[in-house]
Amino acid sequence: MLGSVPSAVTRAQGFEVEPRIQRIDFVGNAAFEDQTLQEQMLLEFPSLLRPLRSRPRYRRNVFPKEMRRVEAFYRRHGFGGVTVRLDSIVALSQKQPAKVAIMVGVREGPRTVLREVRYTPQQVLSLEELRRATPIVPGQPYPFGAAHRGHLTRALRIAYLSRGYLGVAVSDSTLLAPDSTEAVLVFKLEPGPQFHIRAVHVGGNEQTATEVIHRELTFKAGEVYDFTRVQSSEQNLYSTILFRRVTIREESLDVAQRTVDIAVRVEERKMTFVEGSVGIGRRNNYEAHATGRFGLRNLWGRGHALEWQSTVSYDLEQGGDNYYVEQRMRYVNRYLFGSPVRLVPQIAYSIDRRSDDVELNRTRVDVPAFWRSGRFTQLSLGPFASFTTTTLEEESDDLLETRALSFGISRNSSDNLFNPRQGDVRSLSVQCAGFGGDNHFNRVTGTYSRYERFGPVTLALGLRLGWVESFGPSREASAADIGVNGVPFEFLFQAGGNTTVRGFDNNSLGPRLTVTTVTDPGEAAVVDTFQVHAGTVLLLGNVEARAPLPLLGMLNLGVVVFLDSGNVWRDVEEMTSAPFGVRFDDLYTGASDMRYSYGVGLRYGTPFGPIRVDLGFPLKRNGRRVVHLGIGHAF
């Protein structure tokens, strides 16, 4: 036994029951602390987030594997001769022999540093390309771990496979200094011959035209074989949602002619679909939602799609005539005139009566085109026309036509579409309305979200901006009576509530809408103010910390702490003169003040994003808490 122990009982044999490990002490370790070594094990001890977790049991057939993990950690850091062994098991009390401390002996040996990386001569890849494929440099700990070196050799193989060298052989060896403090890593490279694609064979498609599949492939006959293109082609075929299974493999390798066939096998999905969903959420009040979709995924076998979607929402708190109905038809052409541009024309009709004060009847036609310029970035451009009648209590606009051109760019590098923990999301949208319609305005919106992971905790930051301003005829004499500064109500910004500034009712922030009417010429104008808040300038900021719930993290339950801020303003001048500081000594009576709130929430993880319940508190003395329900993160 190494060192002294806190009890007189040391067990060399098995216990009558599997004891619980109270602590693990390492002896002989100089390079790493005990806590660092214990973290390499899969044993789960009580922690700050899970204080009531049971301590792990000692199992004779399992604990040696934990020590091998510690050895692997040492080898990854250059200790090739390390040995880790069980030294003793000590009962902390004779009255409670089922509680033990484990002492683990460590013999580190010398630490080996990488002196040089060598590659055997070849004519395919330059030295810089080889180093780029194997990101390991002299001075780093030597990679004794087989997994680490295997990752490096695989990266080299892929580099050759991407240039058509299907028979490439890559192996590694080590030249160790006599005192084991330095080592040279040698990669033996045997590229072999370069292969070209002789033919591409497609099979398994019964309803899909073969040329549709070829269109998704990034390789063709006559080209040099490229492994990375094979992988991207497989992903492209899956993204069409036409296929349940895709397999791409090499066949009929001809060494003499240095050619290879590529076989593409697909298993098609059902081309007609009917889907539906129901749920309960909150916008202004709690609402029941129902959505139905049906359509065709593969019109005429060309990969085009046509779908009809019907949505109904009903206000469960207000009841009566408070509802929302939308009918939408959409057509998808993934390759416009054979180009990588995706055209998605659609037409929608909606009646929005979810507010007691406002009713919107709208027909909208969109013809957007999308083009993906990279792995994370997408561009969009297209015209749209909106025909809207807005009713605000007893006031009503005539049917107004908005003709506009919209441009957008978005970039999403987050690691998960529904529950991101790392990366960022950026978007910019610009709309210009006019072109002979009733409304003339420019509208710009931008969003930025950043996600950083700190152990089990995810820190999310969000910023959203919006600006809209009328020009020309709408500035001189607006066709829209219900709006702000010539901008119609449907294109204004609103804030407060579930996804903007929690702790406030939905769409309750900012100035109230006013409508000016003149009943008879020569009479004074009548200005009516309504309980509807909207503006032409939007600013929102959100900070949120997300973590698994202590004790219940295994049940997909999580907790969040958030701080929200934001508001909408009538115009830029009102925003620049508004107070932005956090103030506690007044009642925030000004509608133009920057609003702040804080709160906590619960999350239940699902494959399509978390179901969330948030409790928000406004930062003002006369504020009240507000409960928010939703699916998906607030930002």
346, 376: one domain: no
> How many Å apart are CA 316 and CA 75, to the nearest integer?
62
Give the Cβ contact number of residue 317 at 10 Å: 10
Q: How many domains does the chain have?
A: 5
The answer to whether position 573 is within a domain reads yes
Torsion of CA 410, 416, 421, 425, to 10 degrees: 0
Question: Sorting pLDDT into bands at 50, 70 and 90, what band is 279?
Answer: confident
pLDDT per position as a tens digit, 292-334: 999 999 988 888 999 999 999 988 766 777 889 999 999 999 8
In this prediction, residues 134-162 reach a mean pLDDT of 91
249, 207: one domain: yes
The answer to whether position 606 is within a domain reads no
283, 314: one domain: yes
Task: Report how far apart, in Å, the C-alpha atoms of 122 and of each of 158, 184, 389 are.
Answer: 16, 19, 73
pLDDT score, position 305: 93
Last residue within a domain, chosen from 50, 78, 107: 107
Q: Say which range, 149-158, 192-201, 526-535, 539-548, has the weakest mean pLDDT.
A: 526-535
Q: What is the CATH number of the domain that holds 98?
A: 3.10.20.310
- Quote the tokens at residue 223: 């080209």
Does pLDDT of 444 surpass 80?
A: yes
Q: What is the CATH number of the domain that holds 436?
A: 2.40.160.50
The answer to whether position 481 is within a domain reads yes
- Residue 317: CB partners within 8 Å, gap ≥ 6? 285, 286
Residue 291 CB-half CA count within 13 A? 10
340, 244: one domain: no
Q: Which domain holds residue 148?
A: 113-190
Question: Sorting pLDDT into bands at 50, 70 and 90, what band is 554?
Answer: low
Highest averaged pLDDT of the listed ranges 86-100, 494-508, 524-538, 562-576: 562-576
In this prediction, residues 471-498 reach a mean pLDDT of 85
> How many Å apart are CA 464 and CA 363, to the nearest integer?
27
201, 334: one domain: no
In this prediction, residues 216-228 reach a mean pLDDT of 94
157, 210: one domain: no
Last residue within a domain, chosen from 107, 130, 145: 107
In this prediction, residues 390-394 reach a mean pLDDT of 77
The answer to whether position 3 is within a domain reads no
The answer to whether position 171 is within a domain reads yes
Does pLDDT of 457 surpass 90?
A: yes
433, 572: one domain: yes
Last residue within a domain, chosen from 213, 235, 268: 268
pLDDT score, position 68: 94
pLDDT score, position 287: 80
Does pLDDT of 3 surpass 50?
A: no
The answer to whether position 557 is within a domain reads no
> How many Å apart are CA 255 and CA 166, to the nearest integer?
10
164, 219: one domain: no
The answer to whether position 616 is within a domain reads no
84, 211: one domain: no
pLDDT score, position 289: 87
pLDDT score, position 170: 95
pLDDT score, position 315: 80
Side chain identity, residue 89:
I
In this prediction, residues 365-380 reach a mean pLDDT of 91
Q: Which has more confidence, 205 or 516? A: 205
142, 181: one domain: yes
466, 573: one domain: yes
The answer to whether position 280 is within a domain reads yes
pLDDT score, position 592: 83
Cβ(488)–Cβ(474) below 8 Å: no
Task: Share the mean pLDDT of the chain.
Answer: 87
- Sign for the CA dihedral angle at 275, 278, 279, 285 comes to positive
432, 316: one domain: no
Q: Which has more confidence, 12 or 193? A: 193
pLDDT per position as a tens digit, 575-593: 988 888 776 555 555 778 8
Q: Which has more confidence, 363 or 337? A: 363
Percentage, residues of the chain above pLDDT 90: 59
Helices (H), 419-562: 473-476
213 membership: H or E segment, kind and range: helix 210-216
Convert 219-286 into a string of H (helix), E (strand) and C (coil): CCCCCECCHHHHHHHHHHHHHCCCEEEEEEEEEEEECCCCEEEEEEEEEECCCEEEEEEEEEEECCCE
Does pLDDT of 373 surpass 90?
A: no
In this prediction, residues 473-479 reach a mean pLDDT of 79
